[in-house]
Homo-oligomer: A and B are copies of this chain.
Amino acid sequence: MPAAIAALRANGLRVSTARRVVLEALFAAGGPATAEQLASGLDGRAPQSDLASMYRNLDTFEQLGLVRHVHFGHGAGRYVLSARSHGGYVACARCGAFDELEDGALDALRRAVRAHTSYEVGFTHFPVVGLCAGCVASDASRA
């Protein structure tokens, strides 16, 4: 966390209370959380804050490379501390469950894409979507 503060200073950005709160909330969340969850205080685990400012600051931190966000299916995007989440995610299109991909899986995926296309994919911005083991059984609808 002091690293994040340093990053702000290093970029001439101010270390405001609101920004400290954003970091605190992301830290407390421990995993991908929506801007709304973070701003509403994570059920008391972090101080509440303004949603618009939350978005603005998440974006600021994202540009500094400290935060990233992923979209699990439809609905709100989820933000995480980059330090807490190196790889990509697999998300279930049905129930919303998700897990981080291990480095091995990530490498295998990147290699597969590179072998067949001219794209260099990261799986770091958007997750790999499919059905989790539990939902495979009850197949049917949309994403």
Interface residues, chain A, with chain B CB atoms under 8 Å away: 59, 62-63, 69, 71, 73, 90, 92-93, 99, 101-102, 104-105, 108-109, 112-113, 115-123, 125-133, 136, 141-143
Is there an interface contact between A93 and B142, defined as CB atoms closer than 8 Å? no
Instruction: Report whether A112 and B105 are in contact in the complex, using a CB–CB cutoff of 8 Å.
Output: yes
Jot down 29 A-B pairs with beta carbons below 8 A, ordered by A.
A63-B141, A63-B142, A71-B71, A73-B126, A90-B113, A90-B117, A90-B119, A90-B121, A93-B125, A93-B126, A99-B117, A99-B119, A105-B112, A105-B113, A105-B116, A105-B117, A108-B115, A109-B112, A109-B113, A112-B112, A118-B133, A119-B130, A121-B130, A121-B131, A122-B129, A123-B129, A125-B129, A125-B130, A126-B126
Residues of B within 8 Å of A109, CB to CB, are: 109, 112-113, 128
Chain A binding surface SS class:
mixed
As for how many copies of this chain the complex holds, the number is 2
